[in-house]
Each structure stands twice: as C-alpha cells, then as structure tokens.
Amino acid sequence: MPLRAALAALLVLLAAGAQAAPRAPKPAAEPAAEADPSPALLRRIAALVLRQVDFGAVSLLPVRFAGSRIAGPIAEGGGVIYCVSGRMYGRTFGKPERPRVALRYDNDRLTVLDDDEVCTGHRTRPFPELDALGNKP
C-alpha cells in the first residue's frame, strides 16, 4: 500500500508541474506582413499589373484572365512585396501564358521589381480583382 501512495503522489506532482511549466512565447510577426491589403490597394495592384507588357498591355489580340493569384504582403527591406501571377488566354492559340510580376509597395507607391525570384515559396491566394478588371469588354 505505501508504494501505491507514493506513485499516486508522484503522479500528482508531475501533473501539477506540467500545468505550471512556462510556455514559450509566440514569435512576433512584423505588422506589415500580417495586415491584409485594402480593396483599394488590390485594385491599384491589378491596374498596375495590367499595364505591364507581360500581362497583355500591348497586344493586337484581346486577352482574358483566369485563375489569377496574389502572394503577399511579404515584408522586405522596409517595404512590402506583392507577387501576382495568372493564366492569360488570347495571344497564343492553345495553352495559356503564365505571366508573373513582383511589386514593391513603399511609402504609398507601387513599383515593379525586375526580380520575381522573391516570390518563390510564398503562399498565394485567389486574386479575383485582376480577373474582373482584365476581362472587361
């Protein structure tokens, strides 16, 4: 009987110690990377993307977009980067083109980046604003 009492006391102490153990703090994420872009900013991004040659800005044939995606906001170097990709139909017959562009949003300005390698490995989500704006008659 004394062995059972000692084991029971040990289990109670272990359970109490597990509950009182300090928990590791969650890593703080940068506030710019957490905030979702506003609808107005998403429309500005879509408008700037559609002015790019890769996205059909200079095309004799009409183009249409389907399955557009956006990644970001990605905090980098004091600014925020957005990556846009999509499937563009119309300039080629058959399979669609898959243009990509990286944009930097800094001090309320959007600029196009030459290097879209910053976009690799980031999770994307649907970007219906580009599909809607790019498919207007």
DSSP assignment string, 59-127: -SS--EEEEEEEEEEEEETTEEEEEEEEEEESSSSSSPB--EEEEEEETTEEEEES--GGGTT--EEE-
pLDDT, residue 19, reads: 60
pLDDT, residue 29, reads: 43
pLDDT, residue 35, reads: 64
**Is the Cβ–Cβ distance between 106 and 80 less than 8 Å?**
yes
**Is the Cβ–Cβ distance between 59 and 91 less than 8 Å?**
yes
pLDDT, residue 13, reads: 62
Please give the Cα distance from 100 to 70 (Å, whole number): 10
Is residue 10 domain-resident?
Answer: no
Tell me which residue range forms the domain holding 117.
Answer: 30-134
The distance of Cα 47 from the centroid of its chain, to the nearest Å, equals 18
pTM above 0.85, yes or no: no
Please give the Cα distance from 49 to 100 (Å, whole number): 9
Is residue 19 domain-resident?
Answer: no
* pLDDT above 60: residue 98: yes
Torsion of CA 46, 86, 36, 112, to 10 degrees: -60
Is residue 7 domain-resident?
Answer: no
* pLDDT above 60: residue 32: no
Question: What total of structural domains would you count in the chain?
Answer: 1
Is residue 1 domain-resident?
Answer: no
Q: What is the mean pLDDT of the chain?
A: 76
* pLDDT above 70: residue 73: yes
Residue 100 vs residue 60, higher pLDDT: 100
Of 53, 134, 61, 58, the closest CA to residue 100 belongs to 53
Among 14-23, 46-55, 72-81, 121-130, which is the least confidently predicted range?
14-23
Is residue 12 domain-resident?
Answer: no
Please give the Cα distance from 97 to 67 (Å, whole number): 12
Is residue 25 domain-resident?
Answer: no
